Amino acid sequence: MRPSLPLRLLAVALYGLPMPPVASAAAVEYQLDFASNPGELAARVCLREPQSALRFVLPERDAARHLIDARRDPDRALAREDNVLRARDWQAGECLRLRIDLRGVAASGAHAAGLHEGADLLLPTRALLWRPLGLAGGADIELRVEVPEGSGLSVPWTPIDAAPHRRFRLDASDPYWPGMVALGRFVEHDPALGSGGLRLTLIGALAPTQQETITGHAREAAGDVLASFPPLLDARPQLLVVPVPGAREPVPFGQSLRGGGTGLMLYVDPRATPAELRGSWTLTHELVHLAHPYLGDDGRWIAEGLATWYQNVLRARAGRISADQAWRQIAAGIARGVADPADLSLRDTSRGGAGRHTMRLYWSGTALAMLGDIALRTRAASPASLDLALSRYLACCRARHVRRDPGRFLADLDQQVGGDTLAGLYRKHVDGDAFPDVAPAWRALGITRRGDGSLDYGNDPEAIALRNAIMVGIEQSPR
């Protein structure tokens, strides 16, 4: 453990007596004080090394309007231009002092853009952390956080010390990636799951039965995914659950958050029953996103395809839905993707985000995952599976804070099981405007889709073994 700042720093208010330069063990240290002034964040950003010129950038551009004050400590020239603060001749140990309107940040919107839920605040890290750019050794960042007495704190960062003077390590992820901080009197659970667990935070005023139902759902969904990918939760990711009363479905929205650490957000109707939550695929989908690195805009179709393929497969293996239900959902989704025509390549469809072609984006990636899984399972030499490739990748090579080229990531998966199956499929389809042809996959599975959407399953023993290997988890006999 690295040495902490001198304790006397804690005895001086952030905007009180002048303080000497700080000799921090980290290249950058944030001191975040949520306790001194309700509704405000008093922050310091201290740098260990001198800099001839320095820029501090707030990635959430619109949130710059919530900056109440910014100055150097000691008081020296600091220029502000919207969401950029510029300084020259930065001294070793010098700090930037900030005051930020938390209520303004929290009121700025929903879905990882800020939220005020009763006594709880949800705050995007991109609206709080003014990031110094261009530093050598910039990955070495620590945060020291003070919170009001009796208040909880949920963050995606890696813990170093426990309360009351909490210290965290910020990973080297892109400062523009989203992350969330929750502050308030919410309910927290830290269930151990597999070799890791979840840091579960239930936002808002929930009845005990609602808390129990949502926590049970989180445990179940996590257990379903861990059964196939045991190392998935080793980093103990943050899971924020936000109530959405009166939603049209039990879990209307979810999001993976990679900024500064690993986090997930889940929006849940607090009235949802255990059976309704068990029928939802959203949390399973988001958990699967933890199995791959960030793939950028070009790789969105691959990321969403993997999560969509496995949201059906893993729930069938766990008995949440039947194998027939899973195959029907996959077949219907692929049909929607085929019916969503575009003259764009799949790469360009992915770069455009969901847009008008949501079905094409999600289900083309799902088709590629299905084709790749079946090709791996049915190859004559050294049959394998997409499960095995991902599990080995998680065990040896995962770096959550690194952006990977999608083709390179699929080649990394191939390397775990040999061959060029997945990367080859990617190269074949990524720059074409045709939806991947899944007819060979359906033939290998012995599945025919009828006009009414139901499926006809053939009796070929190899097809039955393949279907069972995917949806039930019964391994195929060697070919």
Q: pLDDT digits over 321-377, tens only?
A: 999 999 999 999 999 999 998 889 999 999 986 577 999 999 999 999 999 999 999
Of the candidate ranges 112-121, 251-260, 368-377, the one whose mean pLDDT is the lowest: 112-121
Is residue 105 in some structural domain?
yes
Is residue 64 in some structural domain?
yes
Residue of 131, 141, 120, 122 lying closest to 98 (CA atoms)? 131
Average pLDDT, the chain: 88
pLDDT band at 279 (very low <50, low <70, confident <90, very high): very high
Is residue 2 in some structural domain?
no
Q: How far is the C-alpha of 379 from the C-alpha of 396, rounded, in Å?
A: 24
Per-residue pLDDT, 213:
97
Instruction: Please say if the pLDDT value at position 427 is more than 60.
Output: yes
- Residues 335 and 257 both lie in one domain: no
Is residue 1 in some structural domain?
no
- Residues 196 and 111 both lie in one domain: no
Residue of 140, 108, 232, 121 lying closest to 180 (CA atoms)? 121
Report yes or no: 332 and 308 within 8 Å, Cβ to Cβ.
no
pLDDT band at 114 (very low <50, low <70, confident <90, very high): low
Q: How far is the C-alpha of 469 from the C-alpha of 464, rounded, in Å?
A: 9
Q: What is the pTM of this model?
A: 0.90
Residue 74 neighbours by CB distance under 10 Å? 12
Mean pLDDT of 382-389: 96
- Final residue of a structural domain among 291, 320, 353: 291
pLDDT digits (tens, 9 = 90+) for 259-278: 988 999 999 999 999 999 99
Q: How many CA atoms lie within 13 A of 311 on its CB side?
A: 25
Mean pLDDT of 217-224: 97
- Residues 322 and 440 both lie in one domain: yes
Is residue 232 in some structural domain?
yes
- Residues 376 and 425 both lie in one domain: yes
Per-residue pLDDT, 11:
29
- Residues 170 and 286 both lie in one domain: no
Instruction: Please say if the pLDDT value at position 287 is more than 50.
Output: yes
- Residues 165 and 108 both lie in one domain: yes
Q: Tell me, what CATH number does 302's domain have?
A: 1.10.390
Q: Which of left, alpha, beta for 236 (phi over 0: left; psi -120 to 50: alpha)?
A: left
Is residue 16 in some structural domain?
yes
Range of the domain at 129: 7-178
Per-residue pLDDT, 353:
65
- Residues 227 and 143 both lie in one domain: no
Report yes or no: 66 and 82 within 8 Å, Cβ to Cβ.
no
Say how many domains are in the chain: 3
Spatial neighbors of 192 by CB under 8 A, at least 6 apart, are none
pLDDT band at 108 (very low <50, low <70, confident <90, very high): confident
Q: How far is the C-alpha of 380 from the C-alpha of 105, rounded, in Å?
A: 57
Please give the structure tokens belonging to residue 173.
């992820």
- Residues 384 and 437 both lie in one domain: yes
- Residues 208 and 338 both lie in one domain: no
Instruction: Please say if the pLDDT value at position 176 is more than 80.
Output: yes
Q: Tell me, what CATH number does 80's domain have?
A: 2.60.40.3650
- Residues 83 and 149 both lie in one domain: yes
- Final residue of a structural domain among 291, 325, 341: 291
Is residue 167 in some structural domain?
yes
- Residues 319 and 249 both lie in one domain: no
Q: How far is CA 65 from CA 96, 124, 183, 219, in A?
A: 17, 14, 21, 40
pLDDT digits (tens, 9 = 90+) for 8-50: 222 233 333 333 344 447 899 999 999 999 889 999 999 999 9
Residue of 313, 306, 331, 290 lying closest to 452 (CA atoms)? 331
- Final residue of a structural domain among 264, 291, 318: 291
Q: Tell me, what CATH number does 255's domain have?
A: 3.30.2010
Is residue 479 in some structural domain?
yes
- Residues 300 and 412 both lie in one domain: yes
Q: How far is the C-alpha of 197 from the C-alpha of 85, rounded, in Å?
A: 39
Strand pairing category for 28-33 and 141-146: parallel
Q: Which of left, alpha, beta for 204 (phi over 0: left; psi -120 to 50: alpha)?
A: left
Per-residue pLDDT, 115:
59
pLDDT band at 424 (very low <50, low <70, confident <90, very high): very high
